[in-house]
Structure 1
Amino acid sequence: MQHPHVTLTIAEGIAWVELSRPEKYNALNYALFDSIVKVQKVIAGRRDVRAVILSGSGGNFCSGLDVASVMKSPMQAFKLLFKWLPGNANLAQRVSIGWRRLPVPVICVLEGICYGGGTQIALGADMRIAAPDCRLSIMEAKWGLVPDMAGLVGLRELVGKDVAMQLTMTAEVIDAEQAKDYGLVTQVSEAPREAAEALALRLAKTSPDANAAIKFSINKSWRAGERSLLARESLSQVRLLLGKNRVIAALRQTKDPERRYRPRQPWWR
């Protein structure tokens, strides 16, 4: 399925999403912002999707905002930043936080350049696998700006406050191994796409309902109070116990390892 500058392919339960503006190092223009959010909506409506692999074309992930393109149209800039309420996500923020809101695990493949808005998008994924040549930077301070694409939601969960401030205030460029040491990257691989596919296939062997519940619980409870965490765990467990995929998971462990899971239950959003 083709959207402007984004390719979506769904096969055997895995959604492959590729940013496709290689002549601009996959820089973010308005059409690319819009397409990412539309692709997220398509995936959210597909209960047969078990995992998402997000990557960039042409050997790079994303070089950040295409400032010249966006600023050509004041209306486009307005549409990117507009929101009805301050606490809502605008279009620029949904390209990052939208991956967190999907009820399936999202794996991001990082190659080449991953700067500014590209890093913000990657921070919205659940796991990040980087090639050794990848270079990352939270680059907004270089232009006198604050990161405003919701990547800080993920950043605060991955690194200490001092490291977050250092990376954000200095806009320094770090390599993949440094990113892994900081906790920004899950693993470094010479073949990140293959590693991402192998991980996605492993995730597809477990219950889609359980994976959705785990992602929901971890994201909601990571910084929540203890009582909220306990309540959320109990509610998720009741839903899982009442679902057919929990029975299938048990059968796969005992009698029928090839038994196919049913599509994810619709309440996991």
Structure 2
Amino acid sequence: MTTSRVITAIDDQGIALVSLNRPEKGNALDMAMFDAICKTIKRLKKDKSVRVIILRGQGDNFCTGLDIKSVLTNATNGMKLLAKWSPFVANKAQYICTGWRDVPVPVICVIEGICWGGGLQIALGADFRIATPDANLSIMEAKWGLIPDMGGSLPLRELVAKDVALELAMTARQLSGTEAKSLGLVTHLSDNPIEHAQTLAQELLNRSPDALAAVKKLYKKSWWSGPGFALFRESWYQIKVLMGKNQRIAVKREMSDGSTEKKPYINCKFR
């Protein structure tokens, strides 16, 4: 699965390596990049062979943010990004963040070099972020007299306190990977983040894809809901997981003494 702006390679274990592919421009977001990311998310969301996604940027930077000069050369581009059929759904600009949250498999983002503005909002849409200590992260929009409007406010409120989010968004201050980790924007620090991501992916492959999908959906829907709905979802999702073959496979895999090859999981049924 390859476009001019995004390269996707899926290995035989179901690990999809997704690479933003505009290294000569720091993987900045032009209209072709927006289109390619949206199409990639939609394809991976439907692909039941995919178990884990690793998202990275080609070259030295993850993503330097919006390519303002390129996007603003056409007056209709803004409307294409912001238009939506309902005020309560994501538009194209927002989907490059929120879309990753809807994919029913774990998404790991590798952050190296610059991760500014829209780039950071993409990264926030992942379930895990692994950055180098010297990475450079910023909610950059205020520098251009804008607000962050690519969906990142949803995961941001789950990661940091309100006053921290306000300061970062109002000042456009640049953070090192180390400082971002201390604030909760980054899950792990690593000198070799792609290798760290592969290790985490292998851990996740050992777990039932049904359980992983259910946990992701449960926490997304229940993080800010009332306790009653959260408890209802726990029970309902658990029943659905128990009805699937992967739960029984998980038990057999854990009870195996290692003398026989562990039975592989089947494609995720929890969608």
Fold conserved between structures, TM > 0.5: yes
Q: 1:10 is matched with which residue?
A: 10
Q: 1:40 is matched with which residue?
A: 41
Distance in 1 of aligned mates of 2:75 and 2:86? 21
CA RMSD of aligned residues (A): 0.9
Distance in 1 of aligned mates of 2:48 and 2:86? 30
| Per-residue CA distance 1:98-139 (angstroms, 9 max, x = gap) | 000100000000000000000010010000000122000001
| Structure 2 residue 264 is the aligned partner of structure 1 residue 260 | yes
Distance in 2 of aligned mates of 1:153 and 1:162? 15
Distance in 1 of aligned mates of 2:154 and 2:261? 38
Q: 2:157 is matched with which residue?
A: 156
Question: What secondary structure sits across from 1:2 in the alignment?
Answer: coil
User: Which amino acid in 2 is paired with 1:143?
Assistant: W
Q: 2:100 is matched with which residue?
A: 99
Distance in 1 of aligned mates of 2:75 and 2:18? 29
Q: 2:113 is matched with which residue?
A: 112
Q: What TM-score, normalized by structure 1, do the two folds share?
A: 0.97
Distance in 2 of aligned mates of 1:105 and 1:131? 20
Residue 88 of structure 1: how far off its partner (Å): 1.1
Q: 1:210 is matched with which residue?
A: 211
- Report if the CA contact (8 A) 1:251-1:257 is conserved: no
Show structure 1 runs of 4+ deviating over 6 A. Answer: none
| Per-residue CA distance 1:235-258 (angstroms, 9 max, x = gap) | 100001100000100000113562
Aligned positions of 1:119-198 closer than 5 A: 119-198=120-199
Aligned positions of 1:221-260 closer than 5 A: 221-255=222-256, 258-260=262-264
Give ranges in structure 1 of 5+ residues lacking alignment: none
Distance in 1 of aligned mates of 2:169 and 2:88? 22
User: Which amino acid in 2 is paired with 1:122?
Assistant: A
Question: What secondary structure sits across from 2:215 in the alignment?
Answer: helix
Distance in 2 of aligned mates of 1:47 and 1:250? 22
Give ranges in structure 2 of 5+ residues lacking alignment: none
Residue 55 of structure 1: how far off its partner (Å): 0.2
Q: What TM-score, normalized by structure 2, do the two folds share?
A: 0.97
- Report if the CA contact (8 A) 2:66-2:117 is conserved: yes
| Per-residue CA distance 1:62-94 (angstroms, 9 max, x = gap) | 000001111112222211110111111000000
Aligned positions of 1:81-96 closer than 5 A: 81-96=82-97
Distance in 1 of aligned mates of 2:261 and 2:40? 32
| Per-residue CA distance 1:183-226 (angstroms, 9 max, x = gap) | 00001100000000110111011000000000000111111100
| Per-residue CA distance 1:132-183 (angstroms, 9 max, x = gap) | 2200000111111110000010100000011001111110001001000000
- Report if the CA contact (8 A) 2:160-2:183 is conserved: yes
Distance in 2 of aligned mates of 1:86 and 1:41? 20
User: Which amino acid in 1 is paired with 2:2?
Assistant: Q
Distance in 1 of aligned mates of 2:8 and 2:224? 33
Distance in 1 of aligned mates of 2:24 and 2:91? 27
